[in-house]
Amino acid sequence: MICEAIGIEHRLTKPNHPWTNGQVERMYRTIKEGTVKRFHYDSHDHLRTHLADFMATYNSARRLKTISGFTSYKYICKIWTSVPDRLILDPIHQMPGLNT
């Protein structure tokens, strides 16, 4: 319902075909290795805070081969400048920092 409300097409993988879901599973593994497998959390709030920090760092610092060596954030900014009608919000205004 949430995906539909914001205009995202929700697709499911075929049952008994785990290789079609490989990128998602790999990202889950990356998140787990960077958070719960390295640190102890005293509460769910502590985990949520660290997870948000981890994802912000990952999206703004990790260069990915699949998007020509750009970070996720830089790639989205590039798309915004070349085809702005593909995105709803200006990603430059969504960058965390002194303006938040």
53-65 pLDDT per residue, tens: 888 888 777 787 7
Length of the chain: 100
How would residue 98 be classed by pLDDT, with cut points 50, 70 and 90?
A: low
CA distance 79 to 91: 10
Question: For position 99, what pLDDT does the model report?
Answer: 53
Q: Across 19-23, 52-56, 60-64, 90-94, which has the greatest mean pLDDT? A: 52-56
Strands (E), the chain: none
* List of residues 6+ apart from 39 with CB closer than 8 A: 50
CA-to-CA distance for 55 and 62, rounded, in angstroms?
10
pLDDT, tens digit (0-9, with 9 covering 90-100), for 28-57:
899 999 999 999 999 999 999 999 988 888
**Domain range list for the chain:** 22-62, 63-93
